[in-house]
Amino acid sequence: MSLIKIFKEGLWKNNAVFKQVLGMCPALAVTTSAINGIAMGLASTAVLICSNIVVSIVKDYIPSKVRIPAYIVIIASFVTVIDLVMNAYLHDIHKVLGLFIPLIVVNCMILGRAESFASKNSVVKSIFDGIGIGLGFTFALFILGSVREILGNGSILGFTVTGEWFKPAIVMILPPGAFIALGFIMFAINYIEDRRKIKNAPKEHCSVG
Amino acid sequence: MTGLILIFISAVLVNNFVLSRFLGICPFFGVSKQLETAIGMSMAVTFVMTVAGIVTWIIQYTVLNPFGLIYLQTIVFILVIAALVQLVEMVIEKTSPGLYASLGIFLPLITTNCAILGAALLNIQLQYTFIQMLVFTIGSSIGFGLALILFAGIRERVDLSDVPKYFRGLPVAFITAGILALAFMGFSGLVK
């Protein structure tokens, strides 16, 4: 499998939020605005890349019985690093994301990649997998955050985009809005992918015929 | 006393762990397809959350704080929870095989349930005393169970109804959860 393909699969085909439904807690909790979604996504990506690298280096030395606790300790160390770095240099964003920074430890996406990819593949491949999956996660959080910010606040990344006539629906920024927005985004993805399949189907038929 | 009651009601209804704080979403969608498994899961979570809350609180105030090791909080807490889940699994297996059989699959999953680590961290962040911590943890786990069981009941009904093609499965589950969260927002005036 080529490196580009690994990267692409992580970005869309195995998208953590939309396809695998992993890492839902931060995805729903911090996406009250697009910028929060990006920040959370990038923090998780950094942890994911680091943990993928270390797991793929030490994979041969860890007895398989204790591998899960070992992975959790590796992930927790990097989360602590990110937590302290963000607190020092990005204090405002750290305050907004709050509890969900230490909770990156229990983001099943990261443990899932350690278990299903990094523990079986080389370091270089694991780095590309980490970048792909991580950016896919960031992308999903950005989409969810944008939808909620536009509907709930009439702006995106802090810039107002809707006219005077638009009355923001505050509920979209509140907790119920997260569930509803994600439900409709998943509906849209199902619909688009199905349409694409229908469009491509007759073409294949012709080429065979 | 009123303070404790307020903490309890706030943890169960107003700041419900799943529907308002977004903790424990994975099991919320994962095991809510049947009412029975939902009840098993919420029992397991209640138990682990309470014990983990007590142990992590004691560690925080007797080890981490006096020795200035607060930066190790995340690592220590997750290790405590992982060890505890393993221990609970072994104890239940020995003492009551019946309960073990019904909880079996859910126990290892609890380690990566962010509700447990979230509750442990919140106890410290909100600077609760031991009694307050106990009330908050039990309230939170009851809130988690309440949301999970309510949602499982609704989902069993949704499965039987005629859902539009592209909404089937997860999309309709998320929208259902949204409506449930909307209903829980009605409690927000209870505690100021």
Partner-chain contact B79 A171, CB within 8 Å: no
pLDDT band at A16 (very low <50, low <70, confident <90, very high): confident
| Residues on chain A touching B111 (C-beta within 8 angstroms) | 68, 72, 106
Q: What pLDDT does residue B109 have?
A: 74
How many residue pairs bridge chain A and chain B with CB atoms within 8 Å of each other?
115
Contact B104, A97 (CB under 8 A): no
Contact B115, B140 (CB under 8 A): yes
Q: Please state, as a whole number, how many other Cβ atoms lie within 10 Å of the Cβ of residue B93.
A: 15
B164: left (phi over 0), alpha (psi -120 to 50) or beta: beta
- Residues of B contacting chain A (CB within 8 angstroms): 19-26, 29, 71-75, 78-79, 82, 111-114, 117-118, 121-122, 125, 166-167, 170-175, 177-179, 181-182, 185
Partner-chain contact B74 A174, CB within 8 Å: no
Question: Mean pLDDT throughout A160-165?
Answer: 74
Question: Mean pLDDT throughout A14-18?
Answer: 83
Give kind and range of the element (H or E) at residue B86: helix B73-95
Locate the DSSP E strands across A26-175: 155-156, 159-160
| Residues on chain A touching B19 (C-beta within 8 angstroms) | 175-176
Range with the largest mean pLDDT of A51-55, A153-157, A187-191, A198-202: A51-55
Q: What pLDDT does residue A201 have?
A: 66
Kindly identify which residue of chain A lies nearest to residue B183, measuring between CA atoms: A176
Range with the largest mean pLDDT of A33-37, A41-45, B87-91: A41-45
Return the residue in B113, B166, B172, B180 with the most chain A beta carbons within 10 A, the one to mutate for interface testing: B166
Q: What pLDDT does residue A208 have?
A: 41
Q: Are strands A159-160 and A155-156 parallel, antiparallel or unpaired?
A: antiparallel
Mean pLDDT, chain B, as a whole number?
A: 86
Range with the largest mean pLDDT of A157-171, A189-203, B62-76, B94-108: B62-76
Q: From the CA of A131, how many Å to the nearest CA of chain B?
A: 22
Q: Which residues of chain B have pLDDT under 50?
A: none
Angle, nearest 10°, between helix axes B114-125 and B35-59? 40
Return the residue in B14, B73, B78, B140 with the most chain A beta carbons within 10 A, the one to mutate for interface testing: B78
Question: Mean pLDDT throughout A67-87?
Answer: 91
The per-residue b/e assignment along B27-55, b for 16 or more CB within 10 angstroms, e otherwise, is: bbbbbbeeeebbbbbbbbbbbbbbbbbbb
B192 or A117, greater pLDDT: A117
Share of chain A above pLDDT 90, in %: 35
What does the pLDDT look like over B74-130, one tens digit per residue?
899 998 888 888 887 888 788 878 777 766 667 777 877 888 999 999 999 989 999
Question: Mean pLDDT throughout A176-189?
Answer: 91
